[in-house]
Structure 1
Amino acid sequence: MSVQEERNSDFFLRPRFSIDLKENSDELLQRITTYLKSDACIYRSRVADKHIFIDIPVKKSHFWSPQLHFEVVDAAENTSTLKGLFGPKPQVWTLFMFVHFVVATLFLGVGVFTYVQYRLGESLVFPIAILVALPLIWLLLYFLGSIGKETGKKQMKELHDFLITIIDK
């Protein structure tokens, strides 16, 4: 079976890909599900409708371990497309998004506080220091996410190769 894969750039923290296959989506989904439930599969997985989540085995897993999520989509009568996404575990992603939200909210709040201090003629040293620190914290979060992605890259490749192995069977 020939696999045609399309990927987005490496810039993204959550890389996406798309694979076109010449196989009915229901048959493909059944084949993948059967293999994932077999004893030969060492990966943890969950299937919900046509969405499949594959995780690294517990003993090899760490904080930055990626998760592979893909969906089997009907393209035509006897063709299908796998639309996949690599990302951190949902707990890690939620934590990062929460911290980003807190930093953004603080930035807006401190911006208003800075304006009030300015209008009252008060000292602006503290609010401006915070306004400078918050974007630096945001950049730090971005680089931590990039480091995490780099740390999980080997496992991401492992999950990708595993997926290719399953669909080539």
Structure 2
Amino acid sequence: MEKNFTLRLRFYTVAEKSLDTILKEFEVLKSEIEPDYKVKILDNHIWLSLGILKREKYSPHLHLHLEPMEDGNTAINGLYGPDPVLWTFFIFLHFLVGVIFFIASISAYTKVKLHQNYTIEIIIIALMVFLWFLLYYIARKNRRKGIPEMNQLQTIMERIIN
């Protein structure tokens, strides 16, 4: 089933309901599905995620941006994303790996020009490249683990917009 994953991380759809109707229906849904799912509504934005008891570190969030259309329908821009805390941590790790890679590269270049031994710098550079690939692999693995939960969030969204 996961091999045939048809959801996209970003999507656009049109609901044949007014913006106010969709917001009211999500308010009603909010009380029905908590604590298993968390629904946050702010202006024309809705965030869906798993409840605190069901959430894993790889659990996705669904952000919906609702825009009223002239014909009375509602345009919905959706975005699946990771937990903001986990995403921030991954960005920090990428930044840290990049800084260490940059410093080791400068140090290696300097030692090459000064005809000194630069073996340690080459090892550090290789280790940072390995860590970049490892972070990429971990992110892809977490994304695959979150596919069933993405399907759950998609089902909840479709209950309202269809």
State the TM bucket, normalised to the shorter chain.
Answer: 0.7 to 0.9
Query: Unpaired segments of 5 or more residues in structure 2?
Result: 1-5
How far, CA to CA, are the matches of 1:26 and 1:45 in structure 2? 16
Match of 2:161 among 155, 163, 167: 167
Structure 1 residue 89: Cα displacement: 0.9
Higher relative contact order (CA 8 A, sep 6+): 2
Query: Contact between 1:24 and 1:77, CA under 8 Å: does it hold in 2?
Result: no
How far, CA to CA, are the matches of 2:33 and 2:94 in structure 1? 40
How far, CA to CA, are the matches of 2:88 and 2:57 in structure 1? 13
Task: Quote the RMSD (CA, aligned, Å).
Answer: 1.8
How far, CA to CA, are the matches of 2:48 and 2:17 in structure 1? 21
Structure 1 residue 136: Cα displacement: 1.3
How far, CA to CA, are the matches of 1:151 and 1:17 in structure 2? 20
Query: Unpaired segments of 5 or more residues in structure 1?
Result: 1-5, 9-14
Structure 1 residue 161: Cα displacement: 1.0
May I ask how many residue pairs the two structures share in their alignment? 156
Q: Counterpart amino acid of 2:57?
A: F
Structure 1 residue 7: Cα displacement: 5.9
SS of corresponding position for 1:52: strand
**TM-score normalised by the chain length of structure 1:** 0.84
Query: Contact between 1:24 and 1:80, CA under 8 Å: does it hold in 2?
Result: yes
**Partner residue in 2 for 1:141:** 135
Counterparts of 1:33-72 in structure 2 under 5 Å?
33-36=27-30, 38-41=31-34, 42-72=36-66
